[in-house]
Chains A and B, each alone.
Chain A
Amino acid sequence: MKYKSQAVAKPYFVFALILFVGQIVFGLILGTQYVIGDFLFPAIPFNVARMVHTNLLIVWLLFGFMGATYYLVPEESQRELHSPLLAWVLFWVFAAAGTLTIIGYLAVPYAKLAEITGNHLLPTMGREFLEQPTITKIGIVVVALGFLYNVGLTVLKGRKTVVNIVLMTGLVGLAVFFLFAFYNPSALTLDKYFWWWVVHLWVEGVWELILASILAFVLIKTTGVDREVIEKWLYVIIAMALISGIIGTGHHYFYIGAPEYWLWLGSVFSALEPLPFFMMMLFAINMVRRRRRNHPNRAATTWAIGCAVMAFLGAGVWGFLHTLAPVNYYTHGSQLTAAHGHLAFFGAYAMIVMAIISYAMPLMRGRVANNAQAQKLEIASCWLMSIGMLLITLFLTGAGVHQVMLQRWPESGEALAFMATHDALAGWFWARLAAGGLFTLGLIAYLVSFFVPQREVAPTEDAEAQTAAA
C-alpha cells in the first residue's frame, strides 16, 4: 500500500463480504423453498427471500466496487484520496441505509413498507431488483454523488491513467443509469423498456468497464507486464463490450411489447456480446503467461484468471445459449434465465471483487501476500465456489431445458401447467440445492482463509523488491 488513504477500502471490503454471506444464506433458503414449498412460510415468503438475496448481491458488489475504487484510484493517480473522511462517512451512511432496508424487507409486509416509506409520493418500488423503498434509492444517489465527487477530484488532481479513466467512466455510467430507477410510468412496456436501462446497461454495459479496469489493475500489479500492452487490451475489450452491448439491450425487448425490429437487432448484437468476455479471458491468460515477475500473491492471480474464465462461461456462453430470438421465444423467463444469471454474476462480478480483495487485503494488513497456508486455503475456496456455482448452473440448465420440453414446446392443451412442470423438475432442484451446499462450503473456507495465522512468514526479499518496483 503506497498511500495511507487507500486503507478506507478495508471497511468496504469487510462489509461486502458480510453481505455476501447474507446473500448465500438467503440463497439456501430459496433453494430449499424450490423443493419444500412451504419452508419458512409465512415468516419468510419466497418473494421476500428473493428480494433479500438479489438486493444483497447488488449492494455487496457496489461495496466491492467502491472499495476497489478507493484502493486503486490513489495508487493510479499517485496521490492521496481527496477526502478519506468523506469516504468513511459515506461508508456508514450506505451501510446503515442498506441494513435498514433489509430489516424493512424482513420485518414488515412489503405493502406496509411501501406505505411507511411513502411510495405513493413517487412510486418506484416493486420492480425486480429495484424493490428498494424510494427513500433508499434517493440515499443511493446521494452516496453515489459523494463517492464520485471524492474519487473524481482525486483523479482530476492526479496522474490520469487509462485504468483510472475507464473506471471513472464506468462509475459515472453506473450512477447515471441508476436514475432511470425513478422513472416508473403506468404503461407497462414503457416501464420495462427503461427498467432495462438500469439493469442491462449496468451489467452488460458500464459494469463491464468497471470489471475490465479492476482486472487490468490487478494484472498490472501481479504480472508486471508493460502498462502500454495492458491498456491496449483494455480499450479493445471495452470497445467490444459497448459496441455489442448497447444495441444488445434489444435481446430484452423481444417479448415485452417493443416493436418487432428488436428481434433482429437484439439477436445480432447480443450474439456478439460473448466477444469482449472471450477477449478478457485471452487477456488474463496471456498477461499471466507473459508475466515479468512472480508476485508472491498467487491467490490474487487465481481469482483474476478464474474471473475471466467464469465470466466468459456465464456471461458469454450461457448468455449466448438463449439470446437468439427464436430460441428465446421458448426459454424466456424459464430456469435457463436463472442458470445464466447465477454464473454470469458470480463469474464476472463476484469474482472480480474477490480478486481485488485478494490482492489488496494482505497489503492493507501490512504484508505483500498471505503465507502459503492461507493462500492454499483461499485458492481451494476459489475452486470450491467455482465448481459449486458451475454445478448450480448445470442443474438449472437441465431444469430449464426440461421445463421448455414439458411446458413451452407442446401445443396448448398438451403442454403441462407451470406448477405441474415444477413438480416434475424437483430432481433438478434438489441437485441444485446440494450444489448450493458445496458453494457454501467454499465460502466458509474463503472466510476462514482470512484468519489463518501469519506469524511465521515475513515477505521475501524478492517480494519487497517487487512491491518497491510496482
Chain B
Amino acid sequence: MSERFTKSMARNIYYGGSAFFILLFLGLTFDTVTALPERDNRDQLTEEVARGKEVWEVNNCVGCHSLMGEGAYFAPELANVFDRRGGADEATFKTYLKGWMMAQPIPAPGRRKMPQFHLTDQEINDLAEFLIWTSRIDDNNWPPNIEG
C-alpha cells in the first residue's frame, strides 16, 4: 500500500467505520423489533405455541430439519409443512402430525430415519400449534414453492 496512506488513517477508518455501522445496526434492530409483532402475528402467539417451540427445541428437531430455511438440510423444511401436509387446515394437519409422529421410525431399509420421540398428545398438539403459527409469519414469501 502506498506511503501516503498511513497506519493512523487505516486505524481511523477502522474505529470510525465500525462505530458508525454498529450504531446504524442498533437503529435498524430497534426498527425491526418494533415491526416484528405485526409480521409474526404476535397476538396469536398462544401458550400452546410457546410450549410447542419448547418441544421443537428439546427434541433438537433443527438437527435434521430446517425451519424458514435454517437448521440442517437432511430432512424437509417445516415452516410450510402446515400448508404442504395439512392443506392449510388445522384439523387435517393435527391428525396428520399425530399419525406421522406415532409411525416413526418408518421401517424402510436404507431410508433416512426419524427417531421415535414418545411425545404426549398434548406435546404433539403444541408442536402442531407452533408449526401452524410459524407458517403464518410474513417471511417475504419464502419458500418459492410448496416443497420448501
Chain A residues within 8 Å of B, Cβ to Cβ: 33-34, 36-38, 41-42, 45-48, 50-51, 109-111, 114-115, 119-120, 123, 125-128, 131, 184, 186-193, 228, 231-233, 235-236, 238-239, 242-243, 246-247, 249-250, 253-263, 265, 329-330, 332-335, 337-338, 407-413, 415-419, 421-422
Interface bits B92-128 vs A (CB < 8 Å: 1, else 0): 0000000000000100011111010100000000000
Q: Contact at B139–A188, with CB atoms within 8 Å?
A: no
Give complex CA distance A127, B36 in Å.
Answer: 20
Q: Contact at A232–B58, with CB atoms within 8 Å?
A: no
Give complex CA distance A128, B33 in Å.
Answer: 22
Within 8 A of A (CB), among B53-69: 53-54, 56-64, 66-69
Please give, as numbers and ranges, the residues of chain A lying within 8 Å of B144 by CB-CB distance. 329-330, 408-409
B45 interface hit (Cβ, 8 Å): yes
Give complex CA distance A133, B112 in Å.
Answer: 27
Q: Contact at A259–B115, with CB atoms within 8 Å?
A: no
Chain B residues within 8 Å of A, Cβ to Cβ: 1, 5-7, 10-11, 13-14, 17-18, 21-22, 24-25, 28-29, 31-33, 35-37, 39-40, 42, 45, 49-50, 53-54, 56-64, 66-77, 105, 109-113, 115, 117, 134, 137-140, 142-148
Q: Contact at A258–B32, with CB atoms within 8 Å?
A: yes
- Given A47-B63, A247-B25, A255-B139: A128 and B70 interface contact (C-beta under 8 Å): yes
Instruction: Pick the most buried of A131, A243, A265, A334: most chain B CB atoms within 10 A of its CB.
Output: A243
Some 25 contacts from A to B, beta carbons below 8 A apart, are A38-B111, A47-B60, A47-B72, A50-B72, A50-B74, A51-B60, A51-B63, A110-B59, A123-B54, A123-B58, A128-B62, A128-B72, A188-B137, A231-B7, A236-B14, A243-B13, A246-B18, A247-B21, A253-B32, A254-B140, A329-B142, A332-B143, A408-B145, A415-B147, A418-B75
**Given pairs A186-B53, A333-B66, 19 additional interface contacts (CB within 8 A):** A33-B112, A46-B64, A47-B60, A47-B72, A51-B60, A126-B58, A126-B59, A190-B40, A231-B7, A232-B6, A242-B21, A243-B21, A246-B22, A246-B25, A255-B139, A257-B36, A330-B144, A332-B143, A333-B73
Q: Contact at A50–B145, with CB atoms within 8 Å?
A: no
Distance from A260 Cβ to chain B, minimum over Cβ atoms (Å): 6
Q: Contact at B10–A236, with CB atoms within 8 Å?
A: yes
Instruction: Pick the most buried of B6, B31, B148: most chain A CB atoms within 10 A of its CB.
Output: B148
Give complex CA distance A251, B76 in Å.
Answer: 22
- Given A128-B71, A256-B70: A265 and B28 interface contact (C-beta under 8 Å): yes
Please give, as numbers and ranges, the residues of chain B lying within 8 Å of A48 by CB-CB distance. 60, 63
Please give, as numbers and ranges, the residues of chain B lying within 8 Å of A228 by CB-CB distance. 7
Q: Contact at A332–B147, with CB atoms within 8 Å?
A: no
Distance from A335 Cβ to chain B, minimum over Cβ atoms (Å): 6
Partner of B57 from the list A127, A243, A417 (CB cut-off 8 Å) is A127
Distance from A193 Cβ to chain B, minimum over Cβ atoms (Å): 7
Distance from B55 Cβ to chain A, minimum over Cβ atoms (Å): 9
Residue of A nearest to B5 (CB): A232
Instruction: Pick the most buried of B36, B40, B63: most chain A CB atoms within 10 A of its CB.
Output: B63
Please give, as numbers and ranges, the residues of chain A lying within 8 Å of B67 by CB-CB distance. 188
Distance from A67 Cβ to chain B, minimum over Cβ atoms (Å): 26
Give complex CA distance A247, B18 in Å.
Answer: 10
Q: Contact at A46–B54, with CB atoms within 8 Å?
A: no
Q: Contact at A255–B140, with CB atoms within 8 Å?
A: yes
- Given A42-B105, A46-B64: A259 and B146 interface contact (C-beta under 8 Å): no
Partner of B24 from the list A36, A120, A247 (CB cut-off 8 Å) is A247
Give complex CA distance A255, B1 in Å.
Answer: 40
